Structure formats: structure tokens, C-alpha cells
Structure 1
Amino acid sequence: MNALSPLAVIISLASLLPLAAVADESKGSVEVVHWWTSGGEKAAVDVLKAQVEKDGFAWKDGAVAGGGGATAMTVLKSRAVSGNPPGVAQIKGPDIQDWGSTGLLGTDVLKDVAKQEKWDELLDKKVSDIVKFDGDYVAVPVNVHRVNWLWVNPEVLKKAGVAQAPTTLEEFYAAADKLKAAGFIALAHGGQPWQDSTVFENVVLSVMGPKGYQQAFVELDEKTLTGPEMVKSFEALKKVATYMDANRAGRDWNIAAADVINGKAGMQIMGDWAKSEWTAAKKVAGKDYQCVPFPGTANAFTYNVDSLAVFKLNADRKGDIAAQQDLAKVALGEDFQKVFSINKGSIPVRKDMQANMEKYGFDACAQASAKDFLKDAGNGGLQPSMAHNMATSLAVQGAIFDVVTNYINDPQADPAKAAQRLNSAIKSAK
């Protein structure tokens, strides 16, 4: 393995402490630390909990609200350092590799389950690689979110004289100009760093394509980060920002979504979790609203995969280990995959379900998402979301957030200088 990550260094002292020292002695229980606390998310987790309990195991809920998972990660790190990690925790993307390098994740726990349930056949290799450490499954993926969506209120576009949802950046600008002229907010947006960078990664994907996106945000290639296409991306971001609501500062994404739903705004750039807001408003996909790939990204799919990682427990805790295995089996089962994704707005992570979405009762947006996932998995269009913890470390992601948010809020910012700052910030954060 490579040198220890910062996380591994911080938590290395945990190896000196007995993991079962303060663990609950009751047989067959599993504690789950997660941040699925919204209405739909909680409903889905309750289904998982009910099935685990039906199978005879005790569920200890460790829900930690707030911060998009940042608060939960702080709690998890604190517990790991004290030698008291939970049985299972929600961990995403490259963070799974960092946790694996600490030696705290259970590399043997899921071997039999994965083999019996044929996970290697059910999962796309890009997904299975995310949840493996040194070739062994250490986590179970529960869904796939698509990030490069544009949400459109067709009635608002019609009132503004826009015939159809834009498919290119030039069409996007033209539609946005008409929306502004008609008195609508062209682009609903919440002025928070992760939202700013969600827009930015969509723009980069549109300008540079999947290959350029990968070179920039996965490989962190200096030539790409400072090259002419990155400068063009910052130029495009500057223009996109002119269509955003002037009152966006600090606003949550769901408040911005409400403006599109209520007819105050025409469009929003957001991942498919936004669909839950439309569903809650009793709107129908394909009729009351449209979900289309962000203009210029129809041949790409930026993804965000939620996963549950298992922690290593002492061998004498056989009942608790069995509970971990049962939870993993249920989480990748058809029933939970369907319920969870319908509540979250995502799609199942199983390829067999992705190929038969209508059979499982998924709406038009989910069906389109699954079709594109399967297509892009074979042509290089499938790319991890930088803005949603899938492409790089949290330190590098934070550096990108700072540069992008400073740039998007400075009308005088220079695109070429922004590209140079982006590269310098990433180099410092590595």
C-alpha cells in the first residue's frame, strides 16, 4: 500500500485500543452511523432497519444530522480514535480507501456475502472498486445518484417563449436570456460552496468532455488544470452565474428547488436528489417537470454512490458480525434497492435492476438515468463527482470549493488567473 493517509495517521493510535472494549455485549446487534435524516431518507432507512430486525438482529441507530455528512464524519473519527467505532458507517468514495488504510475496516466480513450474492456480477466495476480495499469488499453500495441533471419547469419556459429544454451551453444562455426578459429567475441556485462546485463540475464536463473532466478532477493533471479548456470553463461559469438568483447567498438547495417548482424560476442545476422535492409537491416527471442532462453532457454521467462500510470487530462477537453481514445482504437486495432509491430520487446500484427500471415502478427520470448509466459505463462517460466526495480527497475538494466560490462571487475575477489559482490550491492540498 501507499504511505498512510492523513486519516490513517490521525487514527493510528486506535490500533492500540481494544475494539470491543466498550462494545455492547448483546449478541447480534449492529450500530449504524449515517446522515440519512430527511423525511424520504429516514423512511428508506426504516425499511432497512425493519428487515434487519425481522432477521433477528438488533439495530442501534446512530443518525447524525447536518453538514451533508461532515458532522457524522467528525463523530466517526472521534469514536475511531477512542477505539469505539460502530459496526457500520456511511462512508463515501475515496474516503473508503482512507479508512481502509487505517486497518479498522473489516476485510473478511463481507467475503462470503459478496460471493453468495454475486456482487461482482451485480455491480459495475467502477462501483465495486469504490467499495473494495486491496481487492476485498469493505462496504456495500446502496444507490447511484446522477449529478449532471438540469431540472426544468416546462410551463415557465413556455411562458418565456422557450420551446424546449436546452441541450447545449449556447441554447442554455439563449433560454436563460428569455427567462430573465420575461421576469423569471433563469437559474435557481443556493450560494453554498458545494452547490457552486456542483455547477462548476457540470460546466467543466460540458466544455471539456468526460476525458478532460477525468484529467482535471480525478488525475489532477496540471496541464489540464491550467490549460485553455479550463480557462474556457471558468469563462462559461462566469456567464452561467449571471443567470443565478441575486439572493442566493447561503440558501439551501431545496429552497432553490422550490422556486422552480412554484414557477418563480425556470431551471436548476442539481443532482437527482432534487427529484424528491418535486415528488413531495405531487409533481409528475415528464409532465410537470423535466430532467435533462446538463447542456453539453448528454454523453456523460457524473455519479455519487452512497455506501455503508463495515468495521472490524473482535472474532468472539460472532452475533454482531452476523448482523453486519445480514445488513449488507439486505442493503443490496432488490426490495431495499427499490424503496431506498424511490425515496432518495436515485437509481439502484444493481445492474440487473437498472436494465428493468419500469418493471420496478421507477419514473421517467430514473429510467432515463439508469439507461444512461449503463450506456456510459461502456464508453468512458461514467465519471465520479468531484463536488460530492467521489473523485478526490476531502482536502483537495475543499481547495477547489474555495477557489470556485471566491471566483463565482467576484464579477471582476479573471478566468485565466482562476485556473492558475485552482492548480496552486490543489497542489497545496495534496
Structure 2
Amino acid sequence: MKFTYTFGAALVAALLATACGKKEEAAPVAATPAPAAAPAPAKTAVEVLHYWTSGGEAKSAAELKGMLEAKGYEWKDFAVAGGGGENAMTVLKSRAVSGNPPTAAQVKGPAIQEWAKEGMLANIDNVAGPEKWDELLPKVVADVMKADGHYVAAPVNVHRVNWMWANPEVLKKAGVAGMPKTWDEFFVAADKIKKSGNIALAHGGQNWQDFTVFESVVLGVGGAEFYDKALVKLDPAALTSPTMTKAVTTFRKLKGYVDDASSGRDWNMTTAMVIQGKAGFQFMGDWAKGEFTAAGQKPGEGFLCAAAPGTANAYTFNVDSFIMFKLKDEAAQKGQADLASAILSPEFQEVFNQNKGSIPVRLGHDMSKFDDCAKLSAADFVATAKAGGLVPSIAHGMAVSPAAEGAIKDAVSQFWNDDKISVADGVKNIAKAAATK
């Protein structure tokens, strides 16, 4: 070897000089260079596409990032803002079609099965089986996460959609004692609030907000079994029944309690009307709670929460989840398994849902650190899962195909915005839209 040869030649020269009595300095001995440090092994990248971009959501995503980085992975954040996930889905389809899908993507409801039918999703039973997801999750939620009987998605949380929020001071000023439990009671309370000079119902006139209110009305008027037939199974008989006519009539009546500036208003600005004491009630999912708490308010004091009228024994759920794509690299596959395991871990479920306003998807999770609204939600989640009152939210992508959902949403919003459309025609239009494939 070169280094050995150089070292030997220098040493021989020095010895010869000494033996001959020469005063010459010995040639310097060449140092053997230190071996180069081995490069650190590259971290496996876990690329996650999501649309958690608001304050609390981003904070929650950072928790998941930290858990994966602690396991030695490189977290590649692929956040796509806007559109309630619609923008993210557009980007995801582009990536998938080009053959370059991310490790995981935030997708929910029937859209999970649509991706599975394309043969693009990975089977994650290797995580779900040992960790007993079938026991941890309500069957109705577990079924949404599966394709052909195998888990292909990991659920993150549970949002309850059929919430009613209220400002206690506005109710007190109007002489309303407590939260109304039926639609008849709600209209009596709304009349009192309107008479007192406040807006009875805060509502943002956007089609998804119209649809959110509509599904709670259908649930409250018809009950969970009817809701399932009409808005999950899309049964034509249920969609054109007298019960649906009553629900559409009730929905139309609500518009008389909304202010004229409602059109196009964002949901959080609508919640602010309740916070500021300008309006009495709002129907919105539990993400609205984050607005109240951000304003320094506490449940039972600054704001009130209850199930929407007639829905105390039912629960419309909206579950965020992540699908896992088929990947060839074994290290990447392990990254997916660790990501799925982290998502369902008690630690992440606790931190994430406290930030987001939702509740853990794990049955039996310790709720001692959650607020009273979350505790009520968790208790009702378990009770309705046992009693059959737990149903998927059609307004939030959990019940039917995206095509049918979009068509029904448009029909509902058109009815809300056009007083010339009769109740009878409104029912017909919704039933027709439900037939969209």
C-alpha cells in the first residue's frame, strides 16, 4: 500500500544516515491519515400530505412530526391550504397520476374506498392487527378505514357535527331558559331572541354550511334510522317521504332567523357573532369550540354547547384519517407502519384532539384533561355507537360518494337561497341529486 511504503522508505533513510555518522536530520516520517468518517445513514423520509394549516391544526401536525422524528425519520411536510381539503385532493390526484404519491395523505370517508379501488393503497393490517384496532374503534368507524376487509387508513380523531352553540348572555337577555331540546322549543327561543333585538341564528351562507345545518335538521326531525336511510343509503322512498318534507319545511323556517349579511360569510366569522353577543345560536361542528376557547371563554360560562334539537341520542361523525400508498421501499413501508401506530397512540390522540376541538377516536380514552363539551361528546360517541345512533356526516364527506354529496349539497343550497323554490320542489330536487353517480 502507498501509505505503508512511504512510511518504510523514510524510516530506512533515517537509519542509514545514523549508521553512517551523518549529522543530517532524519527525513520526517509521513503520518498515516486518519480514515474518513463514515457518512451518517440517510434518514427515511416520511412525506405527509395534509390540510391542517390553521393555528391549532398546525400545532397538532407538529406533534405528529415530532413523534416521527423521534423515531429517526425525516418528516417532509406537504401542507396544502384552502378549500376544506379540496385543494389538497387536487394536488394529491396530480401526484398519484404521475406515479409519485406521498407516503400518506389526509383523505376521509368513501373517498378512501375510491382510492383503494384504484389499487393504490397499502394494507396496514400489520399494525392494526397487533394493536387491536377492531377493539379500539367503533365498527362504523373501522369499516370506513377498510377496503375489502383490510385496513388501508388510520383514523385521527372524531368531530361531532350535530352541535348547537349559544351565548348564555344573549339567551338570558331574551328570557330563554337553557338550550332547546326540540325544534319547536328552538323556534320559541329564536322568536324571543329576535324580539330582544339580537340575531337568533348565526349562519354563514356557504353551501357546505347550509348542508351542515340541513343534515342536523334531518337527524333531529327523522332520527338516526331515517337519517341513515335518506342521507347514507340514499333510499328514494325515504328521500321523498313525509318525514323528509317535514325536515325541508323546518330547514326553510330557520332562514327567517338569519341576518341579511349571511351570504358568503366564513364559519369562524359566524362563530364570532355568538362570541361577541350579536347572535344567540349557531349550528356547527366542534371545530367551532376552538374559536370560543381562543377568545378565552369556557364551556358553561362564556358559551353553551348541546346537541342540535332532537339529536341528543344521535351523533353525526366526521373522522379525519390518513391513507397509506403502496410503496416498494421497505424502509418507507416501515415508516408508514410507524406513522399509523403513532396516529392511534394515546399520547398523540390526547394532544391532537385537545388542540383541534375534537375527541379521540379510541374508545375508552381517558377524558379527564378535556373540557365539558368534549366529555359530553365522548360519552355520546360511546353511547350512540352501542345504540345505533352513530351515523356518518354527509355534509363532511363521510357518508356518500363525492359526486352524490356535491349534487345534494348544491340542491340544498339552492333551496336555501331561493325562496321561490317550494318545499315540494326542494324535496324533489334533493331526491334527484341523490341519484347522481
**Aligned partner of residue 156 in structure 2, secondary structure:** strand
Query: What residue identity is the alignment partner of 2:59?
Result: A
Shift of 1:102: 0.5
Alignment-derived partner of residue 89 in structure 1: 105
Q: 1:344 aligns with which of 356, 369, 382?
A: 356
Within a 5 Å distance, the mapping from 1:361-376 to structure 2 comes to 361-376=369-384
Distance, in Å, in 2 between the alignment partners of 1:257 and 1:184 is: 14
Q: Which residue of 1 aligns with 2:388?
A: 380
Matches within 5 A, 1:82-121: 82-107=98-123, 110-121=124-135
Match of 1:223 among 234, 237, 243: 237
Which residue in the other structure is 2:367 paired with?
Answer: 357
The one-letter code matched in structure 2 to 1:247 is A
Of 325, 331, 338 in structure 2, the residue corresponding to residue 319 of structure 1 is 331
Aligned to 1:205: 219
Q: How many Å apart are 1:155 and its aligned residue?
A: 1.0
CA separation in 1, counterparts of 2:234 and 2:215? Answer: 13
Q: Tell me how far 1:26 sits from its aligned partner.
A: 5.3
Is residue 140–residue 331 contact of structure 1 (8 Å, CA) maintained in 2?
yes
Q: In structure 1, how many angstroms separate the alpha carbons of the residues matched to 2:211 and 2:406?
A: 10
Aligned to 2:411: 403
Q: CA deviation at 1:27?
A: 4.9
Partner of 2:401: 393
Asked if the contact 1:28–1:321 (Cα under 8 Å) also holds between the matched residues in 2, the reply is no
List per-residue Cα deviations over 1:60-109 (Å, max 9, x = no partner): 000000000000000001111111110100000000000000010002xx
Counterpart check, 1:294 vs 2:302: no
1:293-327 CA-to-partner distances (Å, cap 9, x unmatched) read 0011111000000001100001xx12111111111
Contact 2:49–2:106 under 8 Å retained in 1 = yes
Q: Are positions 1:160 and 2:174 aligned together?
A: yes
Partner of 2:12: none
**Equivalent position amino acid for 2:310 in 1:** G
Give the residue type in structure 2 aligned to 1:320: A
TM-superposed CA distance for 1:172, in Å, is: 0.4
Paired residue type of 1:50: G
1:403 maps to amino acid: A
Rounded to whole Å, the distance in 1 between the matches of 2:308 and 2:259 is 18
How big is the shift at 1:159?
0.7
Equivalent-residue separation in structure 1 for 2:85 and 2:134 (angstroms): 28
Q: Which residue of 1 aligns with 2:346?
A: 334
Distance in 1 of aligned mates of 2:239 and 2:126: 43
Partner secondary structure for residue 266 of structure 1:
strand
Tell me, yes or no, if the aligned pair for 1:28 and 1:322 is still in contact at 8 Å.
no
Other-structure match for 2:47? 31
Instruction: For residue 411 of structure 1, report the CA deviation from its aligned partner.
Output: 2.1
Contact kept in structure 2, 1:27 and 1:319, CA below 8 Å: no
Which residue matches 2:74? 58
Are the equivalent residues in 2 in contact too, given 1:160–1:178 (CA < 8 A)?
yes
Contact 2:43 2:72 in 1 (8 A): no
Name the SS of the counterpart of 1:140 in structure 2.
strand
Aligned partner of residue 249 in structure 1, secondary structure: coil
**Aligned amino acid, residue 387 of structure 1:** A
- How far is 1:112 from its partner? 2.0
Counterpart of 1:70?
86
Residue 241 of structure 1: aligned partner: 255
Determine the C-alpha separation between the residues in 2 that align with 1:371 and 1:245: 34
2:270 aligned residue (252, 256, 267): 256
SS at match of 1:408: helix
* CA offsets 1:226-269 (integer angstroms, 9 cap, x no match): 11111111110011111112111111100000000011111100
Task: Provide the TM-score with structure 2 as the length reference.
Answer: 0.90
Name the Cα RMSD after superposition: 1.1
1:270 has 2:284 as partner: yes
Q: What letter matches 1:46 in structure 2? A: A
Matched, 1:174 2:184: no
Aligned-partner Cα distance in 2 for 1:111–1:390? 22
CA–CA separation in structure 2 for the residues paired with 1:111 and 1:72: 26
CA contact (8 A) 1:27 1:320 kept: no
Could you tell me how far apart the structure 2 residues matched to 1:392 and 1:69 are? Answer: 16
Distance 2:65 2:389 in 1: 35
Q: CA deviation at 1:412?
A: 2.8
What is the CA-CA distance between 1:191 and the residue it aligns to? 0.4
Aligned-partner SS, 1:116? coil
Measure, in 1, the Cα distance between the counterparts of 2:172 and 2:146. Answer: 47
Give the Cα separation in 2 of the matches to 1:264 and 1:232: 29
- State the identity as a percent: 55
Which of 178, 190, 199 is 1:185 aligned to?
Answer: 199
Contact (CA 8 Å) 2:248, 2:426: kept in 1 or not?
A: yes
Q: Helix, strand or coil: the match of 1:104?
A: coil
C-alpha contact (below 8 Å) 1:40/1:343 kept by paired residues:
yes
**Any conservation in 2 of the 1:28–1:318 contact (CA below 8 Å)?**
no
1:91-150 alpha-carbon deviations (Å, 9 max, x no partner): 00000000000010002xx22211222211111111111111111111100000000000
8 Å contact from structure 1 (residues 199, 269) kept in 2: yes
Aligned residues: 397
Contact 2:199 2:278 in 1 (8 A): yes
Q: 2:320 corresponds to which residue?
A: 306
Letter in 1 for 2:65: K
Unaligned runs of 5+ in 1: 1-24
Q: Is the Cα contact below 8 Å between 2:239 and 2:427 reproduced in 1?
A: yes
Runs (5+) with no aligned partner, structure 2:
1-40
Distance 2:180 2:43 in 1: 56
Report SS of the residue matched to 2:323: strand
Which residue is equivalent to 1:42?
Answer: 58
